[in-house]
């Protein structure tokens, strides 16, 4: 192949293509391999030490190796982005220099390999995250703890998570869009349609992540940029379709290897990759669903507001630090088996518990001190009224409560097609 790097325009294109390839190779390895089940990505990382050195030397950020907060828009992340960009620039210049000396030009191969890498990475990643939405595992599920929290206590991200967990229809629909787009992008003949679908989906994700200050903004932006690069190949098709309303000719993805032997290898490798990914996806989904255990105690789950109470027989002279304000027994999401006690001074204590609904007994264990346990007995007068009693830290307690379940909250009402029909 003759050198084709003589004109400034061609030189710039060659530089950008090689820089993009190197940057995304460095970016993806190894933290981008989220879709490979069972690996600890930090074990394969070459970036920790060098990124910490780069961050401290050139940016003045001293990082704690045990608390790097990788993947959540941390100083470590931004340091690594800058580092791999600089390395990519240096290596690209060296690459082009060597090619010019050898009078070779691998532009076509580089572009093809870049597109294949991005197609599989974007496809695998978004199918994984798409199924996280389809099975309602990415954002969790609405529980009593969320319903009792006030909006002012939320960060933008936790507010978004609550918003997304509220509507199965919306969340599952956006998940299926990502799954369908991710699957289509894995195949050459449907890459255009897949990248177009994912462009719309990821544009929405990026805007939401920025608008709600989600801690993975740069993760979403990188995926969006990858998809834009894939869609850029079809820019003339898009312009003719949506701007000039012209007929367009089909355009397929370029093939990296064209000889017979390479085609045979490709036909073997692709099915193996897809089968391995499907198995990995199955285990990821099973693991995620495992966080959402069945509520073993639905009869006592809810928010209990304390209306009457006695401590050591006294119902009047009770210090605020001892006076109970509410009791929250969680029974959904990943917080199953947790109790939150709020005192009158708004301090909170957190417990794990085991309940015996036959003997009407709850054993609580302090989450900070597992040796601190106590037992509450309860009686249910009706569906809403519960009476609790027991001995806590040498104090004999008795309190009468009013129970609220998820169904009692306005936010949990179903979709109403006729608004004024009660």
Residue 320's Cβ-count burial label (10 Å; 0-12, 13-18, 19+) is exposed
Report the candidate in 110, 115, 121, 133 with the shortest Cα–Cα distance to residue 273. 121
Which helix (H) or strand (E) is 387 found in, with range?
Answer: strand 385-392
The CA-to-CA distance between both ends of the chain, in Å, stands at: 76
> Hey, how many other C-beta atoms are within 10 angstroms of the C-beta on 315?
11
pLDDT of residue 333: 55
Mean pLDDT of the 222-244 span = 94
Average pLDDT over residues 245-270: 80
Give, in degrees to the nearest 5, the angle at Cα 281 between 276 and 282: 100
Task: Check if the beta carbon of residue 192 is closer than 8 Å to that of residue 180.
Answer: no
pTM: 0.89
pLDDT on residue 1? 45
What's residue 422's pLDDT?
A: 66
Looking at the chain, the number of H-run helices and the number of E-run strands are: 11, 8
Residue 419 has pLDDT above 90, yes or no: no
- Residue range 237-253: mean pLDDT, rounded: 85
d(CA 264, CA 97): 34
Residue for token pair 């093809």: 112
Q: Grade residue 295 by pLDDT with cuts at 50, 70 and 90.
A: confident
Whole-number mean pLDDT of the chain? 90
Q: How confident is the model at residue 393 (pLDDT cuts 50, 70, 90)?
A: confident
Please name which of 395, 384, 368, 367 lies closest in space to residue 376, comparing C-alpha atoms.
395
Q: Which of 79-93, 150-164, 223-237, 245-259 has the weakest average pLDDT?
A: 245-259
CB 254 within 8 A of CB 108: yes
Q: What's the pLDDT band for 322 if we cut at 50, 70, 90?
A: confident
Question: What pLDDT, on a 0 to 100 scale, did the predictor assign at position 372?
Answer: 82
| pLDDT the model gives residue 2 | 47
Rounded distance between C-alpha atoms, residue 171 and residue 6, angstroms: 51
Instruction: For residue range 337-378, list pLDDT tens digits in order.
Output: 789 999 999 999 889 898 998 999 999 998 888 778 889 999
CB count in 10 Å sphere of residue 69: 13
CB distance 156 to 100 below 8 Å: no
For the segment 21-72, what is each residue's pLDDT rounded down to a tens digit?
A: 999 999 999 988 888 888 888 888 899 999 999 999 999 999 988 888 888 8
What local confidence, expressed as pLDDT, does residue 335 receive? 59
The residue-averaged pLDDT of 138-153 equals 87
pLDDT (mean) for 104-131: 94
CA 353 to chain CA mean position, Å? 29
Q: Is 110 helix (H, G, I), strand (E, B) or coil?
A: helix
Q: How far is CA 373 from the centre of its chain?
A: 35
Q: Percent of the chain scored above 70 by pLDDT? A: 96
Domain boundaries, the chain: 1-105, 107-292, 302-406
For residue 378, what are the β-bridge partners?
388
Rounded to whole angstroms, the maximal C-alpha distance in the chain is 96
Domain 302-406: assigned CATH number: 2.40.128
pLDDT band for position 397 (50/70/90)?
Answer: very high
pLDDT at 5 over 60: no
Task: Band the pLDDT of 144: cuts 50, 70, 90.
Answer: confident
Helices 217-232 & 107-134, crossing angle to 10 degrees?
130
């Amino acid at each position: 192949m003759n050198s084709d790097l003589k004109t400034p325009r061609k030189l710039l294109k060659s530089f950008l293509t090689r820089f993009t390839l190197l940057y995304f190779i460095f970016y993806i390895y190894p933290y981008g391999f989220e879709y490979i089940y069972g690996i600890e990505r930090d074990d394969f990382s070459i970036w920790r030490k060098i990124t910490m050195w780069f961050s401290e030397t050139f940016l003045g950020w001293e990082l704690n190796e045990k608390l790097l907060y990788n993947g959540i828009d941390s100083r470590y992340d931004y340091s690594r982005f800058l580092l791999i960009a600089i390395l990519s620039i240096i290596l690209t210049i060296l690459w082009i220099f060597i090619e010019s000396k050898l009078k070779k030009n691998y532009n076509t191969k580089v572009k093809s390999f870049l597109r294949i890498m991005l197609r599989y990475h974007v496809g695998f990643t978004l199918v994984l995250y798409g199924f996280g939405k389809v099975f309602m595992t990415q954002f969790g599920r609405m529980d009593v703890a969320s319903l009792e929290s006030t909006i002012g206590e939320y960060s933008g991200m936790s507010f978004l998570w609550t918003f997304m967990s509220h509507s199965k229809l919306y969340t599952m629909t956006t998940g299926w869009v990502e799954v369908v787009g991710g699957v289509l992008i894995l195949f050459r003949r449907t890459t255009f349609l897949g990248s177009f679908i994912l462009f719309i989906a990821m544009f929405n994700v990026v805007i939401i992540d920025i608008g709600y200050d989600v801690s993975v903004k740069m993760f979403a932006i990188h995926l969006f940029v990858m998809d834009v690069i894939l869609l850029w190949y079809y820019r003339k098709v898009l312009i003719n379709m949506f701007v000039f309303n012209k007929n367009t000719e089909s355009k397929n993805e370029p093939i990296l290897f064209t000889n017979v032997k390479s085609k045979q290898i490709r036909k073997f490798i692709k099915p193996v990759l897809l089968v391995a990914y499907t198995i990995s996806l199955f285990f990821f989904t099973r693991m995620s669903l495992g966080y959402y255990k069945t509520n073993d105690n639905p009869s006592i789950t809810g928010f209990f507001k304390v209306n009457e109470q006695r401590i050591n027989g006294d119902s009047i002279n009770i210090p605020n630090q001892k006076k109970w304000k509410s009791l929250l027994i969680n029974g959904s999401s990943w917080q199953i088996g947790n109790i939150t006690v709020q005192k009158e001074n708004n301090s909170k204590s957190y417990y794990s518990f085991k309940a015996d609904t036959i003997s009407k007994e709850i054993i609580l264990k302090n989450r900070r001190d597992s040796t601190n346990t106590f037992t509450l007995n309860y009686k249910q007068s009706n569906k809403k009224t519960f009476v609790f009693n027991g001995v806590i830290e040498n104090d004999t307690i008795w309190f009468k409560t009013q129970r609220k379940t998820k169904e009692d909250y306005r936010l949990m009402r179903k979709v109403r097609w006729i608004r004024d029909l009660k």
